[in-house]
């Protein structure tokens, strides 16, 4: 097992956090997916959650987002304990999650995907109808604020690049009141230019005072925008480091089990 990053800070005394997850465990029958993970997220910061496949990242963010109820441990918001019975509860509390599949309909317009069932209306009773003028204006403004200039709001979302579709999902979450934005591997399938655009969007969101949880296995992307870094390994945390406390190659070693590889290399006489 790799050594901890730095000594884990005591989140129990972290009064400035938007959300704290303390000693979270999640069991699926005999399988222990999380074994006492503690993480705090602050306003205006990007907290990167790193780990290799199977480290527990997905289970952790689904617990934060209300998909899973923790087997033990407690979630706090504003210093008060909270319990999420469903993802809707988490959304009502200001936690928005942008998953890799984005939940978008490619043939529908950017505007319709942006509002997705929450379209503004005008009129009353049986004469109520969607206010497309207002919906289009908001969509164009919000996308421009995120650095994306659309040709028109009726442009099909399927014509956008992967990075632009990520930005639509992020802008949607921010507009509808996200205080904490969870991004699940947003750059994993993107090229260099698209990745740069998404990282710039994350930076804009962070500067707006929103707490960002950036799930990734790409250390370079994490180092570009992260303020704090927590590494998960086999359902446990190896610690949390602030920007400047750890180097990229050290993070990479923590994720990839660098010490374990070094020990294996030694036992095999340097052939690994």
Sign of CA dihedral 74, 78, 82, 87: negative
pLDDT surpasses 70 at 80: yes
Q: Higher-confidence residue: 8 or 123?
A: 123
Q: How many beta carbons lie within 10 A of that of residue 185, not counting itself?
A: 18
pLDDT band at 225 (very low <50, low <70, confident <90, very high): very high
What's the rounded Cα separation, in Å, for the pair 242 and 4?
13
Q: Higher-confidence residue: 271 or 78?
A: 78
What's the rounded Cα separation, in Å, for the pair 176 and 239?
32
Mean pLDDT (the chain) is 87
Asked whether 98 and 184 are in contact (CB, 8 A), the reply is yes
pLDDT in tens, 233-263: 888 988 899 999 988 888 888 876 645 544 5
What's the rounded Cα separation, in Å, for the pair 145 and 185?
22
Q: How many beta carbons lie within 10 A of that of residue 195, not counting itself?
A: 21
What's the rounded Cα separation, in Å, for the pair 240 and 9?
7
pLDDT in tens, 44-79: 999 999 988 888 999 999 999 999 999 999 999 988
pLDDT of residue 205: 95
pLDDT of residue 265: 52
Q: What are phi and psi of 220, to 5 degrees?
A: -60, -40
pLDDT of residue 14: 55
What's the rounded Cα separation, in Å, for the pair 222 and 238?
16
For 165, the token pair is 């579709």
pLDDT band at 16 (very low <50, low <70, confident <90, very high): confident
pLDDT surpasses 60 at 219: yes
* Exposure b/e, 44-60, CB count within 10 A at least 16 = b: ebbbbbbbeeebbbbbb
Place of tokens 């109808």: 129
pLDDT surpasses 70 at 6: no
Q: What is the CATH number of domain 1-94+179-272?
A: 3.40.50.300
pLDDT surpasses 90 at 2: no
Share of the chain above pLDDT 90, in %: 65
If you average pLDDT over residues 150-169, what whole number do you get? 92
By the 10 Å C-beta count (0-12 exposed, 13-18 middle, 19+ buried), 149 is classed as: exposed
Helix axes 248-256, 258-267, angle to 10 degrees: 70
Q: What is the largest CA-CA distance in the chain?
A: 79
pLDDT surpasses 90 at 101: no
Place of tokens 């500067």: 207
The alpha-helical segments, DSSP class H, found in 117-257 are 132-145, 162-175, 192-207, 219-225, 248-256
For 3, the token pair is 């050594």
For 106, the token pair is 């490619």
pLDDT of residue 268: 65
Residue 47: name the closest of 253, 272, 225 by CA. Answer: 225
Q: How many beta carbons lie within 10 A of that of residue 217, not counting itself?
A: 18
| Domain edges within the chain | 1-94+179-272, 100-178
Q: Kindly state the DSSP code that residue 127 receives in the 8-state scheme.
A: G
pLDDT of residue 217: 87
């Amino acid at each position: 097992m790799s050594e901890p990053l730095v000594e884990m800070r005591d989140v129990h005394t972290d009064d400035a956090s938007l959300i704290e997850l303390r000693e979270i465990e999640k069991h699926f029958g005999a399988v222990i997916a999380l074994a006492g993970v503690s993480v705090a997220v602050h306003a205006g910061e990007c907290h990167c959650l790193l780990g290799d496949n199977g480290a527990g990242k997905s289970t952790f963010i689904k617990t934060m987002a209300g998909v899973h109820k923790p087997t033990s441990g407690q979630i706090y918001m504003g210093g008060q304990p909270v319990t999420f019975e469903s993802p809707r509860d988490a959304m009502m509390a200001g936690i928005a999650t942008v998953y890799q599949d984005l939940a978008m309909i490619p043939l529908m317009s950017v505007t319709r995907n942006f509002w997705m069932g929450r379209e503004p209306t005008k009129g009353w009773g049986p004469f109520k109808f969607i206010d497309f003028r207002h919906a289009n204006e908001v969509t164009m403004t919000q996308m421009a604020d995120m650095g994306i200039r659309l040709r028109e709001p009726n442009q099909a979302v399927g014509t956008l690049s992967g990075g632009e579709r990520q930005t639509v999902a992020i802008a949607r979450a921010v507009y509808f009141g996200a205080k904490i934005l969870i991004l699940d591997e947003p750059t994993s399938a993107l090229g260099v230019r698209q990745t740069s655009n998404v990282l710039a969007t994350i930076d804009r969101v962070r500067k707006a005072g929103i707490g960002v949880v950036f799930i990734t296995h790409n250390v370079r992307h994490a180092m570009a925008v992260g303020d704090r870094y927590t590494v998960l390994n086999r359902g446990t945390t190896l610690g949390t480091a602030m920007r400047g406390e750890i180097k990229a190659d050290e993070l990479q070693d923590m994720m990839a089990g660098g010490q374990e590889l070094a020990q294996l290399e030694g036992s095999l006489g340097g052939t690994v």
